[in-house]
Amino acid sequence: MNGEEGVLSGAYEEVDLIERHINMLKFTKDNQPIGITRLSEALSIPKHKVRYSLRLLEKDGLIVATPDGAVVSDKYREFMDGLESRLDGLISRIEDVKTGIPHT
Protein backbone atom coordinates (compact mmCIF):
# COMPACT_ATOMS: atom_id res chain seq x y z
CA MET A 1 0.00 0.00 0.00
CA ASN A 2 1.41 3.38 -0.91
CA GLY A 3 0.98 6.57 1.14
CA GLU A 4 -2.04 7.74 -0.85
CA GLU A 5 -4.00 4.58 -0.15
CA GLY A 6 -3.15 4.82 3.54
CA VAL A 7 -4.40 8.39 3.78
CA LEU A 8 -7.70 7.53 2.08
CA SER A 9 -8.22 4.00 3.37
CA GLY A 10 -10.29 5.22 6.32
CA ALA A 11 -12.59 7.14 4.00
CA TYR A 12 -13.18 4.06 1.88
CA GLU A 13 -13.91 2.02 5.02
CA GLU A 14 -16.43 4.64 6.17
CA VAL A 15 -18.20 4.56 2.80
CA ASP A 16 -18.35 0.75 3.03
CA LEU A 17 -19.87 1.05 6.52
CA ILE A 18 -22.45 3.61 5.37
CA GLU A 19 -23.40 1.35 2.47
CA ARG A 20 -23.72 -1.66 4.79
CA HIS A 21 -25.94 0.26 7.21
CA ILE A 22 -28.22 1.51 4.42
CA ASN A 23 -28.52 -1.98 2.92
CA MET A 24 -29.28 -3.47 6.33
CA LEU A 25 -31.92 -0.83 7.02
CA LYS A 26 -33.64 -1.42 3.67
CA PHE A 27 -33.54 -5.20 4.06
CA THR A 28 -34.81 -5.00 7.62
CA LYS A 29 -37.68 -2.76 6.51
CA ASP A 30 -38.67 -5.25 3.81
CA ASN A 31 -38.28 -8.38 5.98
CA GLN A 32 -39.01 -7.34 9.55
CA PRO A 33 -38.78 -8.67 12.10
CA ILE A 34 -35.44 -10.18 11.20
CA GLY A 35 -32.67 -11.79 13.21
CA ILE A 36 -28.90 -11.58 12.99
CA THR A 37 -28.46 -14.95 11.29
CA ARG A 38 -30.97 -14.22 8.55
CA LEU A 39 -29.50 -10.75 7.92
CA SER A 40 -26.02 -12.24 7.78
CA GLU A 41 -27.00 -14.94 5.31
CA ALA A 42 -29.19 -12.73 3.11
CA LEU A 43 -26.65 -9.91 2.82
CA SER A 44 -23.50 -12.08 2.92
CA ILE A 45 -22.17 -10.11 5.88
CA PRO A 46 -20.40 -11.84 8.79
CA LYS A 47 -22.53 -12.05 11.95
CA HIS A 48 -20.12 -9.92 13.98
CA LYS A 49 -20.48 -7.08 11.45
CA VAL A 50 -24.26 -7.45 11.46
CA ARG A 51 -24.26 -7.21 15.28
CA TYR A 52 -22.07 -4.10 15.16
CA SER A 53 -24.24 -2.39 12.56
CA LEU A 54 -27.45 -3.26 14.40
CA ARG A 55 -25.99 -1.88 17.61
CA LEU A 56 -25.13 1.42 15.89
CA LEU A 57 -28.48 1.63 14.10
CA GLU A 58 -30.27 0.97 17.38
CA LYS A 59 -28.18 3.63 19.14
CA ASP A 60 -29.20 6.09 16.39
CA GLY A 61 -32.84 5.14 16.94
CA LEU A 62 -33.31 3.70 13.46
CA ILE A 63 -34.07 0.14 14.49
CA VAL A 64 -35.62 -1.47 17.53
CA ALA A 65 -34.64 -4.86 18.90
CA THR A 66 -37.64 -7.07 19.64
CA PRO A 67 -37.84 -10.69 20.84
CA ASP A 68 -38.65 -11.68 17.23
CA GLY A 69 -35.78 -9.70 15.69
CA ALA A 70 -34.95 -6.21 14.50
CA VAL A 71 -37.61 -3.86 13.17
CA VAL A 72 -37.23 -0.34 11.82
CA SER A 73 -38.34 2.53 14.04
CA ASP A 74 -40.57 5.48 13.26
CA LYS A 75 -37.39 7.42 12.37
CA TYR A 76 -36.71 5.19 9.35
CA ARG A 77 -38.76 7.14 6.79
CA GLU A 78 -37.39 10.53 7.88
CA PHE A 79 -33.83 9.17 7.73
CA MET A 80 -34.29 7.66 4.28
CA ASP A 81 -36.04 10.77 2.97
CA GLY A 82 -33.08 12.93 3.99
CA LEU A 83 -30.37 10.48 3.02
CA GLU A 84 -29.81 11.70 -0.54
CA SER A 85 -29.39 15.28 0.66
CA ARG A 86 -26.87 14.26 3.33
CA LEU A 87 -24.92 12.17 0.82
CA ASP A 88 -24.92 15.15 -1.57
CA GLY A 89 -23.41 17.18 1.27
CA LEU A 90 -20.60 14.66 1.63
CA ILE A 91 -20.00 14.71 -2.12
CA SER A 92 -19.83 18.50 -2.00
CA ARG A 93 -17.25 18.36 0.78
CA ILE A 94 -15.15 15.91 -1.23
CA GLU A 95 -15.42 18.15 -4.30
CA ASP A 96 -14.18 21.08 -2.18
CA VAL A 97 -11.18 19.03 -1.09
CA LYS A 98 -10.56 17.95 -4.68
CA THR A 99 -10.71 21.56 -5.90
CA GLY A 100 -8.02 22.54 -3.41
CA ILE A 101 -5.50 19.98 -4.69
CA PRO A 102 -2.53 21.71 -6.29
CA HIS A 103 -1.79 20.53 -9.82
CA THR A 104 1.86 20.07 -10.62
What are 69's strand-pairing partners?
66
Q: How confident is the model at residue 97 (pLDDT cuts 50, 70, 90)?
A: confident
Q: How confident is the model at residue 1 (pLDDT cuts 50, 70, 90)?
A: very low
Residue 104 lies in a domain: no
- pTM above the 0.75 mark? yes
61: left (phi over 0), alpha (psi -120 to 50) or beta: left
For residue 10, give its domain range. Answer: 3-99
What are 64's strand-pairing partners?
71
**Looking at the 3D structure of the chain, how many domains does it have?**
1
* Residue 43 · residue 51 · CB < 8 Å: no
User: What per-residue confidence (pLDDT) applies to 8?
Assistant: 80
Residue 16 lies in a domain: yes
User: What per-residue confidence (pLDDT) applies to 5?
Assistant: 66
* Tens digit of each residue's pLDDT (9 = 90 or more) over 52-76: 999 999 999 999 999 999 999 999 9
The CATH number assigned to the domain holding 73 equals 1.10.10.10
Q: How far is CA 80 from CA 3, 6, 9, in A?
A: 35, 31, 26
